[in-house]
Amino acid sequence: MASVLSLGAAAVYLQNPATINATINATINATINATINATINATINATTGVNLKNRLYVLLTAVLGLASNPGSAAAPDAHAHWTYQGKAGAAHWSELDPVNAGCTVSKEQSPINIDTTLAKKSPLAPLEFDYRAGAGEVSNNGHTIQFTPQPGNVVKVGDESAELLQFHFHTPSEERIDGKRFAMVAHFVHKNAAGELSVVAVLFKEGKANAALAPIFTALPGVGAHRTLASFDPAELLPAGRAYFKFRGSLTTPPCTDGVRWQVLRQPVEMSRTQLAAFRKRYPMNARPEQPLHGRMVEASE
C-alpha cells in the first residue's frame, strides 16, 4: 500500500501548478480506490498466487493516468462513460446519467446551424484577445485533444473579461454555417469572475499547413497521456478577422450545461490535410450533432 501512496504523491510534482489542486484531489481519490482494489486483489492473490507486483503496476498506471488529465481530474469516475456514436452516443447522453438531463430538456443546446440570412446585424462589442505566449500542457482526455495554458490569457467583450481555461478541437466542426460544416473547430473556453462560461470558436478549413498548430499536432498524445509545451501563444491560432456570431448555448459534451455565451468567429483559418489526418487518427469524429434553435436569436457583429 505504501508504494502506491508514495508514487501517487510523486506524480503530483510532475504537474504544472495550475492543475496541482485538481491533481491532488484526483490522486487522493484514485489512491483510495487503488488501495481498496489492491486490498481486494491481495486477498485474491493469496488464494490464486497471481503476482501482486504486476497488479500494483497496473493500478499505478491507472493512478498516473487519472492524475495526468486536468480536464476531468475533479471527478474522474463520478459520471457515466460517453461517446459520440453507438450505445453511449450523443442520442443517449441524457439516459446515461441523471446529471446529463439538460442534454435533452434544455432549450439552448449547442452546437447550432448559423443561418446567416436570419442572423441579426447588431452593434456587438468587439472581441479583444489578450493572449500571450506561455507554458502549457497538451493532453488527451479520451474525448478530444486539449491545451491547458498557464493563467493570464484573457478575452474582453465590452466590459466583460474572462480567463482562458483551455482550448480543444472537434472534427468535423460542430458549428454549421448555412448548413456547412468545416473540417475542424477549436473551442476556446473562458470563465469570468462570476463563473459564467464564454466560448470562442475558431473554424478550420483544409488548405495550407497551419504553423501555429504544429507544436500541438506534430505529436498528439494518446488517451490519458499529456506533454508540456515550454511556450505556446494561443493568439497565433486566431484568424485576422474579428467578425463574429453570438448566441446563447451550452457545453457540447455531457453534462451539456447551458447558460454558455458563444462567439463563433466568421473567418476560418487553414490547416493541411496531413494535420487533419493526424487529428483524425486520434479522433475520427468527435462532434455533437446540430441542436434545435428553439427560437434563439443569433446576432452578427457589424
Residues 6+ apart with CB under 8 A from 36: none
CB of 58 to Zn ion, least distance (A): 32
User: Which of 221, 249 has the CB closer to Zn ion?
Assistant: 249
Minimum Å gap between C-beta 199 and Zn ion is 7
* Residue 63 or 82 with smaller CB distance to Zn ion: 82
The least CB distance from residue 22 to Zn ion, in Å, is 19
Q: How far is the CB of 244 from Zn ion (least distance, A)?
A: 16
Torsion of CA 76, 80, 84, 86, to 10 degrees: 140
- Cβ distance 27 to 4 under 8 Å? no
Q: Which is nearer to Zn ion, 84 or 131 (CB)?
A: 84
Residue 144, Cβ neighbours under 10 Å: how many?
20
Output 37 or 257, the one with its CB closest to Zn ion. Answer: 257
Q: Is 226 a catalytic residue?
A: no
Q: Catalytic residue among 79, 81, 92, 143, which?
A: 143
Q: Which CB sits closer to Zn ion, 187 or 261?
A: 187
Cis peptide before 221 (omega within 30 of 0): no
Label residue 78 exposed, middle or buried (CB < 10 Å: 0-12, 13-18, 19+).
Answer: exposed
Which residues are registered as beta bridge partners of 170? 185
For Zn ion, the binding residues (CB under 5 A) are 187
Question: Which residues on neighbouring strands pair with residue 209, listed in sequence order?
Answer: none
Nearest residue to the partner Zn ion, using Cβ: 187
Residue 271 cell numbers, joined = 490547416
Question: Least separation, in Å, of the C-beta of 170 and Zn ion?
Answer: 5
> Which residue from 102, 126, 104, 105 is spatially nearest to 246, judged by alpha carbons?
126
The 180-181 sheet, strands edge to edge: 113-114, 176-177, 180-181
One-letter amino acid for residue 299 of the chain: E
Enumerate the active-site residues.
143
